[in-house]
Amino acid sequence: MNKPLRRVAVFCGLLVLALLLRDNWLQYVRADELSTHATNKRVQIERYANPRGNIIVDGKPITGSVDSKDEYYKFKRTYVDGPMWAPVTGYASQAYDANQIEKIEDGILTGNDDRLFFDRTLAMFTGEQKKGGDVVTTLSGAAQKAAYEGLGDKTGAVVAIEPKTGKILALASTPSYDPSTFAGYSRKDEKAWVALRDDKRKPMQNRALREIYPPGSVFKVVTAAAALENGNITDINKATDTPEGWKIPLSTIPMKNHAQGCANASLNRALEISCNSVFAKLGDEIGVKKMNEMAEKFGFNAEQFVPVRSAASVFDKAAERGGNAQAAIGQFNTATTPLQMAMVTAAIANDGKLMKPYMIDELRAPNLDVLKKNEPEEMSQPVSPENAQLLQQMMENVVTNGTGGRADVKMDGVKVGGKTGTAQHGENNAKRPYAWFISYAKTDQGSPVAVAVIVEDAAGVSREDISGGGLAAPIARNVMKAVLKGQG
């Protein structure tokens, strides 16, 4: 072979080698990346080529699929009571992808999960239509309805947890949206998406999991837990050495109380009437390090996955004395999700043991075989059983004799513990305050439910009438009653 032909042959060989390398690089190394790429429409088309599996509550589907009459996307997602369940399900849209459970468990719902390989293979031989699996939730339909209807036209959120297991029983957020309005690929769906995206009320924001708020006085139960665990308080009915004008450290400003009779009030009495001075002084005595340790045992400063990701609640571990004293009453930089405060309440109701919260009970194949079963998992033990029972005693006193009376379910054999909170915020506290309420119901069999409620805004309610006991406590009561009646 002459020299020019040899060069051409070598060059062609290099081209073939480059082609083989490129082909293998695309097919094996970048296969997953390309198959899930946002601009790969084949993935979306295949996702909606068959009916999706369903998300199940109380044994019934709260989702469905219908023929969308579209040339490419054959089936469109539908929702039962979409606005009520949107914070749980999320959305699945032909044009705008998916989120929350619809996204996290997309493989199961579409039938593309590796665990459903046998079902897909069998369908190929039998000629049956490919089917997706189901996601069975831990949610209670009655509790969710009570939460959603209780919020009504208010802006806010509710989370209810079963303390002994960590199962989420209700997860409501308002204002909400109907995922079915943009489930398709039409101009109508686009118009609905844009309207929701640009809505200043943020209806697509999951306030139960993704918003953090100043907790105000509901955080005092965490400070009380830290005081008991660290030995700063050994007798909850003993007077504390707290002057009425107790001054914030590193400042000349006295801590303001909104209740009468806070001077030297016992821990029990201070929680009952919500004395800022007692809890701020306790926070200073405990110190920022131990306050932070207690907050983190309850779950602060870490994201939670239920499996939908929840924003991390915040306790400032680097605060100076003045900031720590204010943080101990739920002010300064302290901020929390409603889920986090439900976790705090659930741990106290469960004799100090915090169970990891979750809202997917099991994943099922189309033939109803269980692919995965989630089991209760202990997350931490923030307080001892003895101290948890003291906290219960104080929280029950808040409902019996204090500001939480409207949360009492008034059912035989049921005790209710709770704590109110009215959280100031904005520059110079100029914005309308948030109304909080945390509570649990307890029977002789233990506590079946713990609830956290926040009312961010309530139209038509004057600033002076905004309170946790007035706005949030009745919602918590109705959620607890729904769970208790479901057990009867």
Give the integer Cα–Cα distance in Å for 400 and 394.
10
Convert the pLDDT of each residue in 231-259 to its tens digit.
Answer: 999 999 999 999 998 999 888 888 889 88
Prior bond of 249 cis (ω within 30°): no
pLDDT of amino acid 130:
72
The pLDDT-based confidence of 22 (bands split at 50, 70, 90) is confident
Structure tokens, 439: 């509570």
Report whether 395 contacts 401 (CB < 8 A): no
- Our answer to whether residue 180 is catalytic in this structure is no
Is 216-368+375-487 in the same CATH topology as 41-137+179-197?
Answer: no
pLDDT of amino acid 72:
78
Residue 109 pLDDT > 90: yes
Comparing 472 with 48, the larger pLDDT belongs to 472
The pLDDT-based confidence of 115 (bands split at 50, 70, 90) is confident
- How much is the average pLDDT of 12-32? 73
Convert the pLDDT of each residue in 316-350 to its tens digit.
Answer: 999 999 999 999 999 999 999 999 999 999 999 99
Which 8-state DSSP code applies to residue 247? B
pLDDT of amino acid 309:
97
Convert the pLDDT of each residue in 66-95 to its tens digit.
Answer: 988 877 788 999 999 999 999 999 999 999
Comparing 109 with 117, the larger pLDDT belongs to 109
Residue 26: CB atoms within 10 A of its CB come to 12
Regarding the domain delimited by 216-368+375-487, which CATH topology (the fold level of the hierarchy) does it fall under? Answer: Beta-lactamase (3.40.710)
pLDDT of amino acid 128:
65
Convert the pLDDT of each residue in 183-233 to its tens digit.
Answer: 999 999 999 999 999 999 999 999 999 999 999 999 999 999 999 999 999
pLDDT of amino acid 488:
59
Report whether 132 contacts 144 (CB < 8 A): no
Alpha helices in 99-139 (DSSP H): 100-104, 106-110, 117-126
Convert the pLDDT of each residue in 377-407 to its tens digit.
Answer: 999 999 999 999 999 999 999 999 998 999 9
pLDDT of amino acid 18:
79
Residue 465 pLDDT > 60: no
Residue 127 pLDDT > 70: no
Instruction: Encode burial over 132-170: b for 16+ CB neighbours within 10 A, e otherwise.
Output: bbbbbbbbbbbbbbbbbebbeebbbbbbbbbbbbbbbbb
Angle subtended at Cα 131 by Cα 373 and Cα 369, rounded to the nearest 5 degrees: 30
pLDDT of amino acid 84:
98
Q: Considering the chain, what is the average pLDDT of its residues?
A: 90
Note the CATH number of domain 41-137+179-197: 3.90.1310.10
220-229 and 288-298 helices, crossing angle to 10°:
110
**Domain spans, the chain:** 41-137+179-197, 216-368+375-487
- How much is the average pLDDT of 155-167? 97
pLDDT of amino acid 20:
77
Share of the chain above pLDDT 70, in %: 89
Residue 427 pLDDT > 60: no
Give the integer Cα–Cα distance in Å for 189 and 376.
39
Beta bridge mates, 55: 135
Surface-to-core class of residue 460, CB atoms within 10 Å of its CB (0-12 exposed, 13-18 middle, 19+ buried): exposed
Block residue for tokens 């690929």: 185
pLDDT of amino acid 117:
64
The pLDDT-based confidence of 122 (bands split at 50, 70, 90) is low
> Which residues are within 8 A (CB) of 432 and not within 5 positions of it... i.e. 6 or more apart?
457, 463, 466
Comparing 41 with 69, the larger pLDDT belongs to 69
pLDDT of amino acid 155:
94
Residue 171 pLDDT > 70: yes
pLDDT of amino acid 426:
57
Structure tokens, 423: 């959280």
Active-site entry in 217, 266, 277, 439? 217
The pLDDT-based confidence of 125 (bands split at 50, 70, 90) is low
pLDDT of amino acid 14:
78
